[in-house]
A and B are shown apart, each in its own frame.
Chain A
Amino acid sequence: MKIGTLPNGGDAIKAANELFKGLLEKGIVEELMAPAVQPGGSCSLALFADAERLDPILPWAPVMPVQGGRALSKLAFTDPGVKTGVVLRPCEARASVELIKLKQIVPDNILFITVDCPGTCEVAAFKASGVDEVEGAKTLLSGKVPEGNNLRTACSICENPAAEVGEIRIHIFGGGDVAIEAEDEVATKLEEAEVVTFSGAGIAGRDEAVKALKAERVKARDELFAKFDDETGSLEKLKEAFSTCIRCYNCMENCPICYCKVCIFKSPTFEHTGDKYAAWAMRKGVQKLPTETMLFHMTRLNHMSSSCIGCGVCDTACPMGLPVATLFRKVAKGVQEMFEYQPGRSLDDDIPLSVFREDELQAESGSGK
């Protein structure tokens, strides 16, 4: 890896956008996916091909309505055929790593650019607060939260907010500078094209700052999990907490890890015939509709929690404001620890459900020897 700082004059957004312009102008990438402010306000992702039209890019957009990993699994499900840069937050980069392993992203033509992330606000609350998108981003970059907003729950407990994967990593934590770290091959290309120079020095206080932020987040996470267990620690209470779930599937549809083209819940297996509903009502006397909301969450937890990267997009997508991400992250933590697996860390770590060891999990599975 090589490291250097970007000229920025105290403006991280401008520094990053200069870099992106250089990448497109010098043909290092031919298109670039990045968060952008739409003409009608509100942020989304966009795919930029014209170096003269990069103005809308806002790398630290204050909201994340669409998970970049999921978006990438659409545009690179098959090889885009042109060199494509993608600007991602750490959780989006982690999702992309999982999706590459799940064969949902063809990475050959993708240049991954990951940014240190100060967090995001909830989409609806941000819109209601009337804060300008760029101002909101700047406030977040300064370590504060825009007025009338909170950090999303998932962001407030995110222990991995630093750019740790990707060929190019943009550092902001630890000081007024903006640093760029790049894999040797990419760094050489960037230097040859005169896009950046790598002086060898990054942000002096970054390691310390990242460590402190992680510790703060771990504490917040453990407190939230303890509170969640207090409030939902029995089947009755958990059912109550999720009683307004309408099984709309938004949490699943927006989750980057839920990649199946047809979820079993949308398959004929769950298209019950009328006599089946009647049988439920007859047997129990009463049957709630929609049926099987708990089964849906439990099944999804079984299928994907080993790869949950904690982005919290499920929370954002839920029209009922249910604590989906807290539940999923809580279970995911136990599952991932059991397999000593950290999703999104490396392409070399196998997805837990795709491998096994011959001598393991006797106690956890209850199978004995």
Chain B
Amino acid sequence: MAEPAKTNENFEPRIVAFLCHWCTYTGADLAGTTRQQYPPNVRVVHLMCSGAIDVVYVLKALMDGADGVLIGGCHPGDCHYQSGNFKARRRVSILNKVLEQFGIPRDRVWLRWISASEGRKFAETIREITATVKDMGPAEFKEQWDV
């Protein structure tokens, strides 16, 4: 059989990142000020805490244009509101079960703990997500007219 055509080569994925104010958003800022290189595919939504995320916004993003979603929060134990990230972790765990039933690959949604001092980790994470999602191609829902 012939090599499958690399249809995704020219595809530039769009990543929506929901970042908590106290850690990952500040980490993203640090990535910028320290001139870490990462792909420009990411659009940031600024939240006070990862615990403020509701999955409806994650799903809505995936249906309306995003190919991947990152939820970034403080490391476990470091949430400035004590437990927001633990609650986000429960919600994302449920979301993964729902995505599975709907035949949507898990790598569309990423939950990551990135602190204010981890500018390098933020850049690495964005590189990893962008590369993975680029390989996956456009999000399942977003081009379909009948959802």
A residues contacting B by CB (< 8 A) are 233-236, 238-239, 243, 264, 283-288, 292-295, 298-299, 301-303, 305-306, 327, 330-331, 334-335, 338-339, 352-353, 356-361, 364-369
The one of A243, A330, A335, A358 that contacts B76, using a Cβ cutoff of 8 Å: A358
A284:B94 contact, CB within 8 angstroms: no
A298:B96 contact, CB within 8 angstroms: no
A361:B93 contact, CB within 8 angstroms: yes
CB neighbours of A293 from chain B (8 A): 147
Q: Mark B87-100, 1 if CB is under 8 A from A, else 0.
A: 10111111111101
B1 interface residue per 8 A CB criterion:
no
The one of B56, B86, B102, B103 that contacts A356, using a Cβ cutoff of 8 Å: B86
A367:B147 contact, CB within 8 angstroms: no
Q: How far is the CA of A327 from the CA of B86 in the complex (A)?
A: 27
B residues contacting A by CB (< 8 A) are 54-56, 59-60, 63, 65, 76-77, 83, 86-87, 89-98, 100-104, 106, 109-113, 140-141, 143-147
A366:B110 contact, CB within 8 angstroms: yes
CB neighbours of B147 from chain A (8 A): 239, 288, 292-295
Q: How far is the CA of A264 from the CA of B140 in the complex (A)?
A: 24
CB neighbours of B102 from chain A (8 A): 235, 238, 294, 298
A284:B143 contact, CB within 8 angstroms: yes
B146:A356 contact, CB within 8 angstroms: no
CB neighbours of A357 from chain B (8 A): 86
Contacts A264-B56, A356-B83 given; does A330 touch B101 at CB 8 Å: yes
Residue pairs across A and B with Cβ atoms less than 8 A apart, 12 shown, are A238-B101, A238-B102, A238-B103, A298-B55, A302-B55, A302-B98, A305-B94, A331-B98, A353-B90, A356-B83, A365-B92, A369-B76
Q: How far is the CA of A357 from the CA of B146 in the complex (A)?
A: 39
CB neighbours of B90 from chain A (8 A): 339, 352-353, 356, 361, 365
CB neighbours of A301 from chain B (8 A): 98, 101
CB neighbours of A369 from chain B (8 A): 76
Q: How far is the CB of A265 from chain B (nearest CB, A)?
A: 9
CB neighbours of A292 from chain B (8 A): 63, 147
Q: How far is the CB of A293 from chain B (nearest CB, A)?
A: 7
Contacts A286-B145, A302-B98, A364-B93 given; does A295 touch B103 at CB 8 Å: no
Q: How far is the CA of A333 from the CA of B76 in the complex (A)?
A: 27
Q: How far is the CA of A287 from the CA of B144 in the complex (A)?
A: 8
A338:B93 contact, CB within 8 angstroms: yes
The one of A238, A361, A366 that contacts B106, using a Cβ cutoff of 8 Å: A366
With A239-B147, A302-B56, A302-B98 known, 20 other A-B pairs at CB within 8 A are A234-B103, A235-B103, A238-B101, A238-B102, A238-B103, A287-B145, A298-B98, A299-B55, A299-B56, A302-B91, A330-B101, A331-B101, A334-B97, A338-B93, A339-B90, A358-B86, A359-B76, A365-B93, A365-B96, A366-B106
A335:B111 contact, CB within 8 angstroms: no
CB neighbours of B106 from chain A (8 A): 366
